[in-house]
């Protein structure tokens, strides 16, 4: 279905073509095994808050599945509004992850494995959280529109110290960040590297670039990505003489004015 594309200067009919991001990275399938090599799965189990610890105030949870107050356990009412015929009600306020082998709860002794497509497994572990955002490559800013930022965005800010009860930003850091921001703008470049946001199996590419506003402010944006945008509906840049818009001839109404109905 064509739609109108309207800017302050043009008004044309266009087709909207959704983009499927092209994955740069195929994430490996990670499985867990117990000490005997059996595959471990996680199950979510309902928990209910029953109070708080007297020592440290931490919440105390209890697993709760209770019988329906309105039904006979052996013979629940199919139309019961509380249990909907199940005879039990589950009152959860929270969930916890439970490790199981074939539905049996187990604890401890878990190892992580990459499951390869050829059926072999290779032992692995979680990446520790990165504490360095290191630009390992710089590239032209025009590349920016090629990335599909599936991992969201961050801003950089200079560290804050409290001086005489007032929050003060580190001016040296801001100077350095601005110097580099100017270089990035002048050279028309963006930076790129790799980053792990939290202890996990997920690694990201990051792309960073400065934003310099005309109100005297500046910043740095960090976008996380594992995908590229592939434009598959590019058009030829028009050459030669200007083309006239195709004239559409509207249907000519032949009904007289509506007032004719009343006369
Ligand atoms: Zn019931």
* 0.75 surpassed by pTM: no
The secondary structure of 82-145, three-state, reads CCCCCCEEECCCEEEEEEEECCEECCCCCEEEEECCCCCEEEECCECCCCCCCCCEEEEHHHHH
Query: How far, in Å, CA of 131 to CA of 137, rounded?
Result: 18
Encoded tokens for 30: 């990670």
Q: Could you tell me the distance, in angstroms and rounded to a whole number, from the CA of residue 66 to the centre of ligand 1?
A: 11
Please tell me the distance between residue 62's alpha carbon and the centre of ligand 1 in angstroms. 22
Local confidence pLDDT in tens for the 263 residues of the chain: 899 999 999 999 999 998 888 888 888 899 999 999 999 999 888 777 777 888 888 877 776 677 888 888 788 888 888 888 888 877 666 788 889 998 888 887 899 999 998 989 999 999 999 999 999 999 999 999 999 999 999 999 999 998 888 999 999 999 999 999 999 999 999 999 999 999 999 999 999 999 999 999 999 999 999 999 888 899 999 998 888 888 889 899 899 888 888 87
Tell whether 150 and 215 lie within a shared domain. Answer: yes
**Total domain count, the chain:** 2
Give yes or no: residues 150 and 220 share one domain: yes
Same domain, 144 and 211: yes
Give the distance (Å) from ligand 1 centre to CA of residue 64. Answer: 16
The domain containing residue 88 runs over which residues?
35-109
How far apart are the CA of 67 and the centre of ligand 1, in A?
8
Is residue 62 domain-shared with residue 149, that is, in the same domain?
Answer: no
Q: Say yes or no: 87 and 151 in one domain.
A: no
Q: CA–CA separation, 3 vs 156, rounded Å?
A: 39
């Amino acid at each position: 279905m064509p739609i109108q594309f309207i800017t302050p200067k043009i008004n044309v009919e266009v087709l909207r073509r959704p983009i499927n991001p092209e994955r740069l990275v195929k994430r490996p399938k990670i499985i867990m095994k117990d000490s005997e090599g059996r595959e471990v799965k996680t199950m979510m189990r309902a928990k209910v808050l029953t109070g708080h610890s007297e020592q440290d105030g931490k919440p105390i949870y209890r697993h709760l599945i209770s019988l329906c107050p309105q039904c006979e356990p052996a013979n629940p009412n199919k139309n019961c509004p509380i249990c909907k015929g199940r005879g039990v009600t589950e009152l959860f306020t929270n969930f916890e992850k439970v490790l199981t082998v074939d539905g049996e709860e187990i604890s401890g002794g878990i190892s992580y494995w990459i499951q390869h497509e050829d059926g072999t497994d290779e032992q692995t572990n979680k990446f520790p959280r990165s504490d360095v955002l290191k630009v390992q490559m710089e590239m032209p800013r025009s590349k920016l529109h090629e990335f599909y930022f599936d991992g969201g965005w961050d801003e950089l800010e200079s560290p804050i110290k409290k001086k005489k009860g007032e929050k003060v930003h580190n001016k040296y850091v801001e100077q350095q960040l601005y110097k580099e921001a100017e270089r990035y703008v002048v050279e028309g470049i963006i930076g790129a590297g790799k980053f792990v946001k939290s202890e996990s199996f997920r690694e990201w590419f990051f792309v960073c670039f400065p934003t310099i506003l005309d109100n005297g402010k500046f910043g740095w944006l960090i976008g996380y990505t594992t995908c590229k945008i592939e434009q598959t509906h590019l058009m030829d840049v028009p050459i030669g003489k200007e083309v006239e818009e195709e004239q559409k001839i509207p249907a000519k109404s032949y009904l007289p004015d509506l007032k004719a109905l009343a006369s």
